[in-house]
Amino acid sequence: MYEIGKKELNAVERVLTKGEFFRYGGTETVKFEEEWAALIGVKSAVAVTSGTAALITCLKAMGIGPGDSVLVPGYTFIATALAVTAVGAIPIYTEVDETLTICPIDMKHKIEKHTACIIPVHMQGMPCNMRAIRKIAKAKNILILEDCCQALGGSYGKKRLGSIGDMGAYSFNQYKIVTGGEGGACVTSKKIYGERAYMAHDGSCSVWPETGKMSEAFFCGGNFRFNEINAAITREQIKRLDRILAALQQTRATFLTGINLPTGFKFINSNDEKGNCGVCFLIQAENVDDAKRLEAIMGKHLTVQRPINSGRHVYSAWGVINGKVGGHNPAWDCFRHPKNRKIKTNYRRPLRQTDDYLKRTVLCNTPYGWNKRNTRKIIEIINRQIAKV
């Protein structure tokens, strides 16, 4: 979260005064869905309780389930893979390239006859190579679910992230660019997926007159409904989004042009620099020892890390999946489901390319709210220090 203030307080007061917190009877959730769909450039959006709920809802809407495998990058929050297991499908780990997003080359090699979907994750606000991904998916007749949980408002080829694949999923929790405290959203321009997402997110929608008519038959869904207070806060937050992104992108650009990297280091450009959310910048070293030294220097002035140490975001730390502990009831354990018996997992084999990039890359969070004078002063100090690396 970068900004919050009086407007959000007024939004909460608006809901409290009205006394209607439920999405049926309230107006905030519906308005948020309309506004988010318009901002992303899609036909429909469904607000849900979290980014994980958004991923699960999208997968259900697209019909992903037992007998299917889904390609998931080895560097993402564990929820991306857990969403796949939640619908009874099997996640297959895929390498990332130097941009720390899914590697199209390895992705293509991992496709099998049971591969039903690809989840490109726009990690740390960095757009995936959607042109290559779409080309491969189209040739193999595979669905694309964009995980935009860390890339709210970003774009690729002038299209907002989430509007390029078949569906897009977002998170609005405390640690995202804009937030309602918790929450998420599913988006699509395909009517069938939009209706299914609505049914999946709320199994009781068939009994609420507010739902209206559906061209799809109602089915048994769950309960990932958003509430009016979260919706009201998030509505105010998304009004700040483009301004926040512009500020982050400007500061990021200042660091990229101002820092003088010594031999053996390089900045990593994203797949679309103009569409990069600007929340971080990547510096890659030729070897791990140099990366550690740079991490120590940059860490004195900025929030930094080598991604290999981020734990929950690295495939090797996903113990419940790697150990195939899908659940205590075989009927809903994806790893013991008879339809998944022939799907071979790759959890015992390391993703060597991913490990290499995660170890040699220093991820620097872009500071927010710094003025140009302070930014340049820190850059000067950093330049003096890294010249000695």
- pLDDT per residue as tens, the chain (389 positions): 899 999 999 999 999 999 999 999 999 999 999 999 999 999 999 999 999 999 999 999 999 999 999 999 999 999 999 999 999 999 999 999 999 999 999 999 999 999 999 999 999 999 999 999 999 999 999 999 999 999 999 999 999 999 999 999 999 999 999 999 999 999 999 999 999 999 999 999 999 888 888 998 999 999 999 999 999 999 999 999 999 999 999 999 999 999 999 999 999 999 999 999 999 999 999 999 999 999 999 999 999 999 999 989 999 999 999 999 998 888 889 999 999 999 999 999 999 999 999 999 999 999 999 988 999 999 999 999 998 77
CA torsion, ordered 225, 229, 231, 233, to nearest 10 deg: -150
Give dist(CA 249, CA 335) in Å, integer.
42
At 331 the pLDDT is 83
CA 120 to chain centre: 9
Q: Which two tokens stand for residue 349?
A: 């084999």
Give dist(CA 324, CA 334) in Å, integer.
9
At 274 the pLDDT is 97
- Maximal CA-CA distance, the chain: 68
Nearest-CA neighbor of 149 among 47, 76, 238? 76
At 330 the pLDDT is 84
> H/E/C letters for each residue in the chain?
CCCCCHHHHHHHHHHHHHCCCCCCCCCHHHHHHHHHHHHHCCCEEEEECCHHHHHHHHHHHCCCCCCCEEEEECECCCHHHHHHHHCCCEEEEECECCCCCECHHHHHHHCCCCEEEECCECHHHCCCCHHHHHHHHHHHCCEEEEECCCCCCCEECCEECCCCCCEEEEECECCCCCCCECCEEEEECCHHHHHHHHHHHEHHHHHCHHHCCCCCCCCCCCECECCHHHHHHHHHHHHHHHHHHHHHHHHHHHHHHHCCCCCCEEECCCCCHHHCCCCEEEEEECCHHHHHHHHHHHCCCCCEECHHHCHHHEHHHCHHHHCCCCCCCHHHCHHHCHHHCCCCCCCCCCCHHHHHHHHHEEEEECCCCCCHHHHHHHHHHHHHHHCCC
The CATH number given to 6-238 is 3.40.640.10
Residues 67/339, Cβ–Cβ less than 8 Å: yes
Q: Which two tokens stand for residue 179?
A: 């937030």
